[in-house]
Amino acid sequence: MEATSAAQQESLQFQSNLILALREAVIATDVDFTIVLINDAAAALYGVTAEQVIGRSSLNVIETDWSDTDLPTAHHQLVTAGHWSGRVVQKTSDGRSLQVELNVTLVRDEHGRVQGTVCVARDVTRSRAAEQDVARRMAFTANVLESLPGRTCVVDRNGTVIAVNRRYRYEGPSGAGPGTGPRIGTDYLQWLAGATDQESVQDLQQLLAGECSDYRTEFGTVRHRRRLWTELFAVPLSGQDGGSVITHTDITVRKQTETALTKRATHDPLTGLPNRTLLGDRLAHALSRAARNGGQVGILFCDLDGLRAVNNSFGHVTGDQLLITIARRLRAVCRSSDTVARVSGDEFVVVLDDAENRTQVEEAAQRIIDALGEPVVLEETVAKTGASIGLLLSSGVQRPGVRTVEKLIRDADTAMYAAKDAGRGRYVWFSPEMREHPKTRPSFVQAINRLLNR
């Protein structure tokens, strides 16, 4: 028995020495929670000495806030498993509050009876503060992301989505609805290639590589047969890790307004046909293409007969109805690639892109004469109309200027007056000799009268 007692004493002394040597704060108590052992780390943590606390109840020595702990569950775990761990707030002797990760283990004898506890405390005040600081920063970052205008996502330097705001989640980057854009953890660049083009992907890759300060582009999508427009604006993230913040803004209304303004500036408001401004632009492009392809461009200058009589007899409202019908007929007999423009009250110009020869131009002119020669049924009358057409076939021009375009239209106009002088309802080809007979063209007063009495 004495040998056993000595062995037990030696074992207890070893355990005590082990606890005292541990760097972690350890307090051992008996079954009544009276402190029987405290190591230097625990004494330093709580600001006490072993002499001050040994023999005193740990409940009186260390003030612990258990408000955030489910005590019944903790007690059940301690009794059944013999161990419990959790975070608590404890106060030191000098009034400091500590965030402590506490591990409590029951000590039992060979018969399983509880002899006391061993409490290991680890000060996590600083790490907890750091965690809270990180949490606050993350919350702040999330709030900033939510506050950004538009549908915003954040990608890393490889183009992988790492964060999105609420509008992005519910609307998608293009406004097409939830789930229509790359999710967190997926490749944004792959999606962008499908939404725009490879050039946009390359531009964004340059930004992610730090080769430019920002990137902006526009792209359109169709949803429920409605055209949606989005502006993409990307700026790089600061720091060594790189990445980018990408904002997608709905610009559909702006694009619709721009389109409406552009159409108003380039189209005739009554017939919807291109006006003289757009005609000049289309003709210049046609001449450039013909120069590259070795082709030709046909120009048909059409003057409508019969409009003045309708205006004089039934008013300009009825005359406008006639013009709308004439415009519709012109579009119907011309190819979709041809430009049909209204250049004045009763004058129209047709540009045949890539005209093959004179025969093709003449066939187009005859179709127009036949179509415009058919009576037009209006609300108040049946109008008999006709057309006189001047024809011109031009080879390509590499860089046509305004003067070149105006000269060609003027020459076709001259040929049109020759057709009118020849008896109307016909077409006449332009020849350079026509420029030598200005009497065949109307005077300034005649032109004004024609405009006022269209």
> Could you tell me if 441 and 345 lie in one domain?
yes
In a domain, 261, yes or no: no
> Could you tell me if 180 and 110 lie in one domain?
no
> Could you tell me if 251 and 271 lie in one domain?
no
In a domain, 132, yes or no: no
In a domain, 260, yes or no: no
- Of 224, 255, 286, which residue sits at a domain end? 255
Per residue in 61-85, pLDDT (tens digit) is 888 888 888 888 888 888 888 899 9
d(CA 305, CA 424): 8
Q: Looking at residue 161, which CATH number applies to its domain?
A: 3.30.450.20
Distances (CA, A) of 142 to 139, 162, 180, 239: 5, 12, 22, 18
- Of 255, 275, 293, which residue sits at a domain end? 255
In a domain, 128, yes or no: no
pLDDT band at 450 (very low <50, low <70, confident <90, very high): very low
In a domain, 272, yes or no: yes
> Could you tell me if 422 and 285 lie in one domain?
yes
Mean pLDDT score of the chain: 85
> Could you tell me if 51 and 193 lie in one domain?
no
Q: Does the model's pTM come out above 0.85?
A: no
Residue 342 near residue 271 (C-beta atoms within 8 A): yes
In a domain, 347, yes or no: yes
Give the SS3 label for residue 324.
helix
In DSSP terms, 121 is beta-bridged to 25, 102
- Of 255, 286, 307, which residue sits at a domain end? 255
Per residue in 123-172, pLDDT (tens digit) is 887 777 777 777 777 777 777 788 888 899 999 999 999 899 999 999 99
Cβ neighbors of 450 (< 8 A, separation 6 or more) are 308, 345, 346, 442
> Could you tell me if 304 and 249 lie in one domain?
no
> Could you tell me if 103 and 165 lie in one domain?
no
Return phi, psi of residue 57, to 5°: -70, 135
Q: Looking at residue 280, which CATH number applies to its domain?
A: 3.30.70.270
> Could you tell me if 273 and 398 lie in one domain?
yes
| Domain count across the chain | 3
pLDDT band at 453 (very low <50, low <70, confident <90, very high): very low
Token readout for 178 is 């939830």
> Could you tell me if 249 and 321 lie in one domain?
no
Range of the domain at 418: 267-452
> Could you tell me if 295 and 154 lie in one domain?
no
> Could you tell me if 314 and 208 lie in one domain?
no
